[in-house]
Amino acid sequence: MSLPLESASAAVAPAVRYRALCPSAVVSIVVGALSILSGLHWSLGLVPLVGIGLGWRAIQRIRLAPDEWTGLGLARLGMGLSLGFWIVGYGWLLFSGVREVPYGYERVGYEALQPDPATPTMPIPQSALDMQDKRVYVKGYMKPLRRQTGIKEFTLCPNNGECPYCTPNPKPTEMIRVVLQGDLETVYTTHLVGVGGRFHVDPSSTSGIPYSLEADYLR
């Protein structure tokens, strides 16, 4: 006894079309996990930006061809990881930056000490002159010294290694002469140090460095 033709056709399951996993969705997950690195430095905020971009691209691609691609959930998760780690990372950097500056000091960056190319007749920018006698906090690297311990005076630079003090003629505005006050002294280190104290500007300084710092704080 044979089954009717209609019953045989109903017993056959409809064919399911294969959909490939969108590569951008997978990569967005990986980059989203790596976005945790954004808490190490401001420049690493580019990592979550890439993750968000990849996730968005994957979502658009899947929506344009839903019969060909899958992975919508992965793309959304990748974007979420990137955005979440970006917010947490930058929040941590902001909190750390505020916390490390001692009370009563103003954070200063080396960019505020550089002359404006548009005004070559003014070697010391107004932003630096405005800090005269103010208590500031600046971070940098010690210029290599012969003395390794019991240091009371050193030159602070924005970079270590290749720049700026390994060049024959470093720019004077890229250096700060630091004089430790009282019993404060230090040892030579190649690591980044933070120095706080009273800032002075003297374009005619005999040392050739127009900026100096009477430091009473060192970390």
What are 163's two structure tokens?
């720049």
CATH hierarchy code of domain 106-218: 2.40.50.870
pTM of the shown model: 0.62
Domain assignments of the chain as residue spans, ordered by start: 17-100, 106-218
Asked if 105 and 134 touch (Cβ cutoff 8 Å), the reply is no
User: In the prediction, which pLDDT does 201 show?
Assistant: 97
Query: Residue 70: which H helix or E strand, with range?
Result: strand 69-70
DSSP 3-state assignment of 219?
coil
User: In the prediction, which pLDDT does 94 show?
Assistant: 80
Q: Whole-angstrom Cα distance, residue 71 to residue 216?
A: 57
User: In the prediction, which pLDDT does 163 show?
Assistant: 47
Of the candidates 73, 66, 67, 96, the one whose C-alpha atom is nearest the C-alpha of residue 25 is 73
Tell me which residues of the chain have a pLDDT lower than 50: 162-168
Q: Whole-angstrom Cα distance, residue 209 to residue 107?
A: 20
Beta bridge partners of 215: 180, 197
User: In the prediction, which pLDDT does 87 show?
Assistant: 93
What are 40's two structure tokens?
């190490």
Place of tokens 């033709």: 5
